[in-house]
Amino acid sequence: MRATLKPGRWVWAAILLASFLLAGNRLALPRPRPDRLRFSHTFTTESERAILDAAVAEFERTHPGVTIEQMVSNSEVYNTVGWRLQFQGRNQPDIYFHWQGFKVEYCIENNWAMNLTPYLAPGFLETFIPSAIRKQNGGVYFLPQSVDISNLIWYNQDIFARLNLREPRSLEEWRRLCVAIRAAGVLPLAQGNRDLWPMGNLAAEFLGQNLGADPSGMLFRPGAAVQPEQLRGLSTLSFLLQNHCFDLPGALDAGAIGSLGDIDAKILFLSGKSAQHILGSWFLADIGDARSKGELKFPIGVFPVPAARGETDAMTAVSTGFLVNPRTQNPRAAIEFLELLLSKKFQSEFAGLGNLSVRRDAPEFTNDPLAKQMLQFLAAAPALVPPPDTGYRPEQAAAFYEMVGKLLTGKVDLKDAAAYWSNEKQNLARKGL
């Protein structure tokens, strides 16, 4: 008995063959190639993407045969899990974005970053301000692109004008200002702390201002217990919470700060529903986007988080930049691309979006008043404190963030906060950390 192939089977075979030819390349195993560089970053706004695309286009013009493939991730995901996951397997990025601090050190330790000094053009490193270049492990692994200020208070200038308010000079004045806004029936602050880092970073800045940069950093080291007096800086958060500065019936419910996402809070502010919004210097790119889409209906001003009388005016800031994977098959091309991206031409365009470049010639880059203001803040700040999620071990940072999150949703009182944090640190210690 011979089994005959019916015509139906031929049709199936033809379809299968066609699909293999058309789309079968997706089944191929990944392999790193010298002519294709993968560039992983978190620039998601359209204006930033436009600049990057221009840089890539120019690079490909001057380097025929080499293409650059961009892998864009959301910065929240990248910061928590993406930056580690991308190094699994054979398809690792050749060039990738990162925040200086614990994570860069981790990358260097795990051999995901390479020493760039042999490949850099002579004199390239001198184009940056000296404090931005760090020698780690005897070489330079990290090329800085910018500094991000983590906490700035952005405000709706129309509302301020209407309520006759001016930019506060001290923390006490700012507290009074928030209460006044609330009394006038306007939501003082639209904040979304669902992912814990927005208010966590603000809390870290308060700590730094109250205690000083180094003492506050010690709190994040494993082992040391936390004393209640050390958390006095957080009293502002309790004050704002108790005076309902984070909620307003009709706009945002009390306690919603714990479940609102930071993106949604941003949208609330940009649609005019709140007087202020605390976010980092990168907010300027979102403002630019909203303005170009015609969705922004009011002028926006900004001032840094004011210090209380007698405290140091610390500022939470983190340097961001790029590293190169030692597994890349074309290190020379990778570094030449970075030199192009970090050159005056493209950095001045980034500066127009509020990016605070660390090049020596940065001050000439922009005419935007807000961007100029931020460069001045940076220059004037006597102390820089890293935000916990990039400066310290993730689990230590997480313990702090959770404590602040619970403080803001009323789960923990300020007087118990120190004990709570110490308890969490002890827990981590038992885990072997």
Q: Which residues bind another protein (CB under 8 A)?
A: 1, 3, 23, 26-30, 44, 71-74, 76-77, 80-82, 84-86, 88-91, 109-110, 194-196, 251-253, 255-256, 258-260, 263-264, 266-268, 271, 394-395, 398, 402, 409, 427, 430-432
Indicate the residue among 323 and 375 with the shorter CB distance to another protein: 323
Indicate the residue among 81 and 121 with the shorter CB distance to another protein: 81
Indicate the residue among 171 and 252 with the shorter CB distance to another protein: 252
Distance in Å, CB of 92 to another protein, minimum: 9
What does the block give as tokens for 80? 């928590």
Indicate the residue among 373 and 409 with the shorter CB distance to another protein: 409
Distance in Å, CB of 317 to another protein, minimum: 24
Q: Report H helices in 313-383.
A: 331-341, 344-351, 369-380
First to last CA, the chain: 71
The Cα 222–Cα 26 span in angstroms is 46
Distance in Å, CB of 431 to another protein, minimum: 5
Reduced to 3 states (helix: H, G, I; strand: E, B; else coil), residue 182 is helix
Indicate the residue among 251 and 419 with the shorter CB distance to another protein: 251
Q: Which residues contact 4 (CB under 8 A, 6 or more apart)?
A: none
Segment (H or E) for 123: none
Indicate the residue among 110 and 227 with the shorter CB distance to another protein: 110
Distance in Å, CB of 312 to another protein, minimum: 31
Q: Cβ of 275: how many Cβ atoms within 10 Å?
A: 29
Indicate the residue among 168 and 272 with the shorter CB distance to another protein: 272
Distance in Å, CB of 129 to another protein, minimum: 32
Distance in Å, CB of 50 to another protein, minimum: 14
What does the block give as tokens for 26? 């997706």
Distance in Å, CB of 69 to another protein, minimum: 8
Distance in Å, CB of 141 to another protein, minimum: 18
Indicate the residue among 159 and 315 with the shorter CB distance to another protein: 159
Strands 152-156 vs 300-304: parallel, antiparallel or unpaired: antiparallel
What does the block give as tokens for 159? 């509302």
Name the packing angle between helices 235-242 and 394-408 (round to 10°): 30
What does the block give as tokens for 214? 């180094």
Strands 67-72 vs 36-41: parallel, antiparallel or unpaired: parallel
